Amino acid sequence: MKRTCLCCGLIVLFFAATTLCWPAEKAEPGPSDLLTLTGTVNNSQGKGLNDAGLTIVVEGKEIHRVEKILTDEEGSFQYRLALPQGQLSGAKIALEVSKPSYKSSAPIALKRIVFEYKDENGNSHYLAHEDIVLQRAVTAAFWIATLVLLGVYVLIAFELFHRTLAALIGAALLLTVSYTLGTFYPDYFILSFEDAVRAIDMNVIFLLMAMMIIVGVMKKTGVFQWLALKSYEASKGNIYVLCAILMVVTAVISAFLDNVTTMLLVTPVTIEISRALKLNPLTLLLPEVFASNVGGTATLIGDPPNIMIGSYGGLTFMDFVRHLSPICFIVLAVSVVYYIFYFRKEYRKSDAGNVSEMAAALREEYKIKDAKLLKICLIILGITILLFTMHGTLHMEPSIAALIGAGALLVLSGTDIVEMLEHEIEWPTLIFFIMLFIVVGGAESTGLIQVIADGVRDLSKGSLVIAVILILWVSAIASAFIDNIPFTATMLPIVAYLNQTIPGAEGGILWWSLALGACLGGNGTLIGASANVVTVGIAESLGYPVSFVKYMKMAWWPMLISVALCMVWLLVVMM
């Protein structure tokens, strides 16, 4: 009897548990009011804000907060809200918007809800759209990003760390703060990992890498040293003519290839020629490095600041050629005259000797090492430059043209790709660019860049003339004392903002002001441009040292003259 009762009890418990655990059949929902809500979240500059959080608040008998939604990369959002039929018309619906480094908005009531249609199930469909503008807030993240950016500048300017390490420390610090303190306190959130990745301009990175490959293969032919030798032969021992030819050749090469690499290859043969002429090599090297920076200013690919400006501003290769090459030609001509006059006493002391014997001796050492490879390189380089000139028509980024050329050259030359990646690509430089983009991205996301841009706009009082002069001279002076690459990276979003807010700037004249100032200003001091540092380093290793002050005496005034010429060009010719 007890056993029977126990069995019955277990059966009852089993059925009870089954009944409780089995999911109940859901009742068919009745007709609803379906509201499709769309809109954008922008900053005061009209730029879409990604990852802005939106909370939808429905006011009735009680406040119902819908789960927070986020905007996409362009600041757009879309959400569908369902309410029992008939309640939408009487409900008060509002949006609350928040994003780190911005002031959270007060509840924004939807002003207009439009009926669209009623579907076959009886659901009523409505539409509403709201564009929201958030104002900046100065938070702890703003001051951290500011200090990090300034710290990176200081470390680079005083060479306390290698510039790549300085930028890496800055980027790592921003992300560390964002994902530690920023996780718990929104005021400390600077930028997300996704924002950091978006801040990296891969067009710049790939373009630099591809051009490094092309130059690395061309180096094997000996063409750069051969050109320097031919310059000496063409001068026929006339030191004034030699200076002019070397400057022009260096400028032309630097317009299409990296000016640092150009100086690395041209410097040794210049020193050999100078020794043979019993001349201080600095009297030829300094005009050469000055010319390399002038020539690099003339094209999109000639100097890293131009690559950055072109990529950020959507400017084509031919845009740079049309707007900058004429003034660069004028600056080069004036620079040639200046340096011939400046070093005239040194040139008079030179001993030309037997030009034929000297040329014959140099010809054995500096000659074309691989004529077949040189032909391949010139053909591929020509095709690459042609693609550069057409990339606006083809809607193709410059980096793609460079990668096509680099890939074709590696295949046709049979160069070992592993050797090229290990020895010819300057990975520290590429990593420096990547980390620097992140640091500047942090300054932009927290509002520092906008503060600077507003300051420049207010200082110029909306005048395009004053803005052109300000950007040109500030860029030139700043680039003379700090690396022009981080300075340009900081100025890019500032100039983009000014292009939108200053009447008449839509044509892009402020981009040209930045390019001329950043590239030519680097000529002013020893540390102003990478080519300067490299050239002086090689000269010093061979027994020809030059101090910071001595270099500045030889380069500062021609730099100021060149920038003054650019100012006249911008204000008289381009406006």
Please name the residue ranges forming H helices in 366-447.
Answer: 371-394, 398-413, 417-423, 427-445
| Residue 366 per-residue DSSP state | S
* Contact residues for 411 (Cβ-Cβ < 8 A; gap 6+): none
Amino acid at 490: T
Report pTM: 0.79
- For residue 384, give the nearest of 301, 502, 309, 500 by alpha carbon: 301
- For residue 221, give the nearest of 23, 409, 73 by alpha carbon: 409
- For residue 206, give the nearest of 420, 487, 398 by alpha carbon: 398
Burial of 272 from C-beta contacts in 10 A (0-12 / 13-18 / 19+):
buried
| Residue 505 per-residue DSSP state | G
Query: Domain residues of the chain, as ranges?
Result: 32-133, 141-199, 222-367+447-573
From first to last of its 575 residues, the chain has per-residue pLDDT tens of: 445 554 555 444 444 444 333 343 333 456 888 889 999 998 877 788 888 888 888 864 444 566 678 888 889 999 888 888 877 777 788 888 888 899 887 788 888 888 888 888 888 898 999 999 988 888 999 999 999 999 988 887 787 888 889 999 999 999 999 999 999 998 999 999 999 999 898 988 898 899 889 988 988 898 878 887 888 888 887 889 999 999 999 999 999 887 777 887 788 888 888 887 888 888 999 999 999 999 999 999 888 899 999 999 999 999 999 999 999 999 999 999 999 999 998 888 876 666 677 777 777 777 888 999 999 999 999 999 999 888 777 888 889 999 999 999 999 999 888 988 888 888 888 898 899 889 989 998 898 888 888 888 888 888 999 999 999 999 999 888 877 888 888 899 889 989 988 988 888 999 999 999 999 998 998 878 878 877 887 788 778 888 888 889 999 999 999 999 999 999 998 77
Q: Please give the C-alpha separations between residue 100 and each of 450, 489, 492, 564, in angstroms, as whole numbers.
A: 15, 23, 22, 43
How far apart are alpha carbons 319 and 312 in whole angstroms?
14
Kindly report, residue by residue over 17-74, the tens digit of the pLDDT.
443 333 433 334 568 888 899 999 988 777 888 888 888 888 644 445 666 788 888 8
How far apart are alpha carbons 492 and 411 in whole angstroms?
36
Q: Contact 203/241 with Cβ under 8 angstroms?
A: no
- For residue 266, give the nearest of 284, 280, 239, 283 by alpha carbon: 284
Structure confidence at residue 354 (pLDDT): 64
Q: Contact 269/228 with Cβ under 8 angstroms?
A: yes
Structure confidence at residue 355 (pLDDT): 66
Structure confidence at residue 534 (pLDDT): 77
Three-class DSSP labels, 77-88: EEEEEEEECCCC
Q: Cα Rg for the chain, rounded, in angstroms?
A: 32
Topology, domain 32-133: Protocatechuate 3,4-Dioxygenase, subunit A (2.60.130)
